[in-house]
Amino acid sequence: MKKQKLRAGDMALVGMFAALMGIGANITSFAPFLQIGGIPLTMQPFFCLLAGLLLGRRLGTLAMIVYALVGFIGAPVFAQFSAGISALFKGSGGFILSYIPAAYAAGWLTDRKAEPESKHFLAASVIGTVIIYIIGVNYMYLAFKYWLNTPVPYAAAWTSMVWFFIKDMAFSIVLAALAPKVYRAVQKGAGFNRNASY
């Protein structure tokens, strides 16, 4: 099947999800009460995986690349309204990078099905979440050990992220429930081309 060029509708969706990532990074700035056990509730993994599930591996990945690049060049779209390439040298820098392969994986898994069902969305969401944490936590461990000069035990790095991981796994279930209906609505949207190339 021949791939088509990006169209205006495709770029609008890419831009929308890149913007949602910026909002998701700072959701507690808009609603400080959104915390679980004192842990800020971020929506970045949710929007990252939603982008992959709804837009497919190409456009979903492109949305995450756009988000990262916009932040790296100076737009305050990272956590605590931070920006710049310096974000990569923080402990959370790996999570910014992890959203790209996570969106790709989630999109690839649903692209393989002509009519993906809830079980496919759930599997893609869970796998995407695992990718985010494997990359993000290992990067955080290396950051603390090698350039932030505050080494922590490897097990402690994972333990510190348990509540975040539980929260994002719960969101995976929510995604699996919501995605089928939203997916069908998006597929019918004017100007959207899931298989667009870039």
User: Is residue 195 in some structural domain?
Assistant: no
Residue 64, phi then psi, degrees to nearest 5: -70, -35
What local confidence, expressed as pLDDT, does residue 146 receive?
94
> What stretch of H or E contains 40?
strand 39-40
Q: What is the DSSP letter of 86?
A: G
Domain that holds residue 12: 8-187
Q: What is the DSSP letter of 174?
A: H
Number of domains in the chain: 1
- The per-residue pLDDT for range 9-55, each reduced to its tens digit, is 889 999 999 999 999 998 877 666 666 545 567 899 999 999 999 99
- The per-residue pLDDT for range 94-118, each reduced to its tens digit, is 999 999 999 999 999 999 887 888 8
User: Is residue 25 in some structural domain?
Assistant: yes
| Contact indicator for 132, 48 with CB cutoff of 8 Å | yes
**pTM for this prediction:** 0.90
User: Is residue 33 in some structural domain?
Assistant: yes
Angstrom CA distances, 117 to 57, 107, 177, stand at 17, 13, 10
